[in-house]
Structure 1
Amino acid sequence: MKVVKFGGSSVASATQLQQVTSILEGDADRKIVVVSAPGKRGSDDEKVTDLLIKIGESFEVGKKDEKAYEQVIDRFREIVEELGLPEETLATIQGRIDEGIAMIERGASNGMDALKACGEDGTALMLSAYLQNRDHKASYVHPQEAGILLKDEPGGALVLEESFDKLYELRQKEGILVIPGFFGYTKEGKLITFSRGGSDITGSIVAAGVQADLYENFTDVDSVYCVNPAIVDNPKEMKYLTYREMRELSYAGFSVFHDEALIPAFKKRIPVCIKNTNNPEAPGTMIVADREDTDGDVVGIASDDGFITIYVSKYLMNREIGFGRRLLQILEDEGVSFEHAPSGIDDMSVILRETALPKEKEEIVIRRIKEELEVDMVEVERDMAMIMIVGEGMNQRVGVASKATQAFKNANVNLEMINQGSSEVSMMFGIHAEGIERAVRELYNVYFT
């Protein structure tokens, strides 16, 4: 049995949904399908989820964004009509959108989640109806019916362990099952969503739950590339990756996969294949628990900007028991999550996403650090970027770090931070964001050309 997930570009139009149907018809093992909301049809288009968010946010200024609402309904209407689906399909989709809007209007705490979920829900309703039109035994399966039970957490829901036993029962159902991604329910019946890109997480959870033989994640590329093709022309394709390598790359900027998505599949040791919806015959990239050729080579380079650094200095910091804990406690008190915390004898840096520390919260955090920790100096540096080089066994290969530092020198980029050793499969570098593309190109040159 295969669980198949199709991303936003794969379900962006009626033509793409017909291509999805062709892929399902081409392999009888593809029993369970997880779908995203319709994505962009071109560079000047908007994702349905972004339009739904725009509608929801418009109530903050007191008036529904009618233009965005019509765009969403027109988008679904166009697909429904081109696929020749019954009018009640569109009526059901519009009714659920209207219910999400009504929840926001009456102040429901999960109103925005309910509205955002309508993109994936609409896709699942349309695909299941289209499969039925083509005489397939197919059914729409609501996430609550499927048993996707979640814990409501800041920053995105987390799956509960009991979900997996309930999901296993899907194996008993006949035909093709179509499940909307991105959302599930608490035990109390409250709809909540994962963080953005969460349809990947749903697919992985379902694959783990039904104990699939393979989880296929269809997107718009033939395979995973070792570096962002927007920075390096015609980069090398990766045929095999381990779960750990893919998670590190996803965290540091690879957009192919949500960085949390592989965890359920990883725990159940289910192989994952990244494939291209528009070129399904291409072998794609396999993500597995172990691979034989882990000889310490760098397999990928990821990069991401939008970071800030809080730099703290205090003489004899290393002799002050509990200093690091109290520093991080301040962040926890203020609801701020951090990414990395490299330290020295008298110095400690905390690296965060810019979105985690807005200006007004920054002032509170800095004031508390000065007053409560009595530091000699505290500074905040913005416009930082992280570059990560990844490969199993890399920490046992001599010369990996020297190649990297030479590449940064060639790119005329100053290193603000190096973090090696906290992970066996990655090495991270902090730089100013303006040098990110030069540095990535030079790293590609030293490791791959």
Structure 2
Amino acid sequence: MKVVKFGGSSLATGQQVNKVVNIIKADPDRQVIVTSAPGKRFKGDTKVTDLLIQYATQVQQQTDYQPTVQAILARYQAISDYFELPADTLNQIQAKLTGLATTTFTDADHQLAAFKAHGEWLNAILIAAVLTHQGISAKFMDPKTAGIRVSGQPNDADILPETYTNLAQLHAGDTRLVFPGFFGYTPQGSLFTFARGGSDITGAILSRGFSADLYENFTDVDAIYAANNHVVDHPAIIQKMSYREMRELSYAGFSVFQDEAIIPAVQGQVPVNVKNTNNPEAPGTLIVPSQFVFNPACPITGIASSNRFSALYLHRYLLNKEVGFTLKLLEIFQRYNISYEHMPSGIDDLTIIFDRSKLDEATIKHLCADVRKTLAPDYMEWIDDYAIIMVVGEGIAHNVDTIGKVIDSLTENNIAIHMINQGASRISIMLGVQAGDADNAVRQIYQTFFQPSEVTTHD
């Protein structure tokens, strides 16, 4: 049995949904379907989720929201018209959409979560109706009834273990089960959305809950590439990679998955196949447990970079002799509720690397003042011009010269390395460079390990 998730671009128009119908028809094992909200139809278009956020804001501010409601409804109307669905489906969608404006919520956060979730919710209702109209037995599955239970915050949900017990009691049989992605319900009955990679997370949760043989994630790309194709021309396709490799690469910017999105599938040991809705016959990229990856043909599977980082550099003579220095520093972070990403150090130096997207200017200013007052470093500098590059591959652990080749590829091209770290797993090499050097660094590393048109695979 397969769980199949379709992204927003795959469900943006009637023509795209027709491709989805054909994909589902082509394989009877595709029994559990996960929908995203309709995405962009063209450059400059607005996603339905963004329209729903706008709708929520207008309701909160008591401004005219009717044009926004009509714009959202028109997206579902266009798909309904394409398949010539009976009016009752769109009437149901319209009633749920307009009813949001008069529903009472606990607070603004709960309201926003409910509004956002309706992009997926309404699309699942619509896709179930389309499949039924096309002669495929299908049923809309309400996450509340199905038992998808969450905790956390209204717009940052965490899945509860009881979800998997609940899902294990469901059976698809000959009927396709159509789930909306992105949200679940607390035990108290409140709707909470996942913060990142929402529909991907739902697909991974269902894959584990149903003990699926495969989780197919349909997007708008043929596969995952060994490097960003906006940085490297025609990068190699990765045919197979391990969960660990995917996680490491996602951390530094691989955009196919958010790094947390496939954790439930990892926990359930369910392989994930990334495929293209527009080219479903392409094999895509298979993500598998690491124990199924043998004899890597190339030590490097992929290279990713991200400029979202900043660093705080501290210098203090005999820092390594001062007991409690790092503890005092961490206590400052705790007061500001800040987590750090990495902390490479020397005998007199310490660099703390942060995810810049989680900090604002005021917090940085107060944090630096507190560090200076409490620790009195000889020299301190906040560095915004910082990027992290991840060089990842199961084969790195089995090739002692890989790290040397990576370093040589950068130094020979006059790219300074500000930080280097190899994790205990030995499948990744992390490099810190200036943000302006990041793209060139990726290109140089790629050229060192890959030949043109080479395909990255594991035998």
TM-score band w.r.t. shorter chain? over 0.9
Retained in 1: the 8 A contact 2:300–2:449? yes
Residue 403 of structure 1, CA deviation: 1.9
Retained in 2: the 8 A contact 1:198–1:258? no
Retained in 1: the 8 A contact 2:241–2:285? yes
Answering whether residue 365 of structure 2 is matched by residue 339 of structure 1, we say no
| SS, match of residue 389 in structure 1 | strand
Residue 139 of structure 1, CA deviation: 0.6
Residue 281 of structure 1, CA deviation: 1.3
Q: Give the aligned residue type for 1:123.
A: N
Relative to structure 1, the CA distance from residue 397 to residue 35 in structure 2 (aligned partners, 3 Å threshold; closer, same or farther) is: same
Cα deviations across residues 241-262 of structure 1 (Å, max 9, x unaligned)?
0000011111211111121122
The equivalent residue for 2:433 is 431
Q: CA–CA distance in 1 between the matches of 2:102 and 2:315? A: 51
Q: Give the aligned residue type for 1:407.
A: S
Q: Give the aligned residue type for 1:180.
A: P
The equivalent residue for 1:118 is 118
The equivalent residue for 2:311 is 309
Gaps in structure 2 of 5+ consecutive residues: 452-459
Residue 368 of structure 1, CA deviation: 2.0
| SS, match of residue 184 in structure 1 | strand
The equivalent residue for 1:293 is 295
Report sequence identity in percent. Answer: 42
Cα deviations across residues 344-370 of structure 1 (Å, max 9, x unaligned)?
223222222222110011122112222
| SS, match of residue 416 in structure 2 | coil
Q: Answer 1 or 2: higher relative contact order, Cα 8 Å, separation at least 6.
A: 2
The equivalent residue for 1:10 is 10
Q: CA–CA distance in 1 between the matches of 2:57 and 2:408? A: 47
Residue 297 of structure 1, CA deviation: 0.2
The equivalent residue for 1:413 is 415
Q: CA–CA distance in 1 between the matches of 2:169 and 2:340? A: 39
Q: Give the aligned residue type for 1:305.
A: N
Relative to structure 1, the CA distance from residue 419 to residue 40 in structure 2 (aligned partners, 3 Å threshold; closer, same or farther) is: same
Relative to structure 1, the CA distance from residue 47 to residue 239 in structure 2 (aligned partners, 3 Å threshold; closer, same or farther) is: same
Q: Give the aligned residue type for 1:185.
A: Y
Residue 227 of structure 1, CA deviation: 0.8
Q: CA–CA distance in 2 between the matches of 1:389 and 1:58? A: 45
TM-score for the superposition, normalised by structure 1: 0.93
Retained in 1: the 8 A contact 2:69–2:98? no
Answering whether residue 229 of structure 2 is matched by residue 265 of structure 1, we say no
Retained in 1: the 8 A contact 2:113–2:154? no
How many residues get paired? 449
The equivalent residue for 2:137 is 137
The equivalent residue for 1:321 is 323
| SS, match of residue 430 in structure 2 | strand
Retained in 2: the 8 A contact 1:219–1:276? yes
Residue 36 of structure 1, CA deviation: 1.0
Residue 68 of structure 1, CA deviation: 4.3
Q: Give the aligned residue type for 2:320.
A: N
Retained in 2: the 8 A contact 1:310–1:350? yes
Q: CA–CA distance in 2 between the matches of 1:48 and 1:385? A: 32
Q: Give the aligned residue type for 1:250.
A: S
The equivalent residue for 1:361 is 363
Residue 54 of structure 1, CA deviation: 3.3
Relative to structure 1, the CA distance from residue 124 to residue 359 in structure 2 (aligned partners, 3 Å threshold; closer, same or farther) is: same
TM-score for the superposition, normalised by structure 2: 0.91
The equivalent residue for 2:454 is none
Residue 120 of structure 1, CA deviation: 1.0
| SS, match of residue 215 in structure 1 | strand
| SS, match of residue 217 in structure 1 | strand
Residue 337 of structure 1, CA deviation: 2.9
Q: CA–CA distance in 1 between the matches of 2:24 and 2:234? A: 30
- Deviation larger for 370-379 or 75-84: 370-379
- Deviation larger for 27-36 or 167-176: 167-176
Q: CA–CA distance in 2 between the matches of 1:31 and 1:214? A: 11
| SS, match of residue 442 in structure 2 | helix
Q: CA–CA distance in 1 between the matches of 2:431 and 2:126? A: 45
Retained in 2: the 8 A contact 1:11–1:38? yes
The equivalent residue for 2:171 is 171
Cα deviations across residues 260-299 of structure 1 (Å, max 9, x unaligned)?
1221111121111111111111111111113112367011
Q: Give the aligned residue type for 2:422.
A: Q
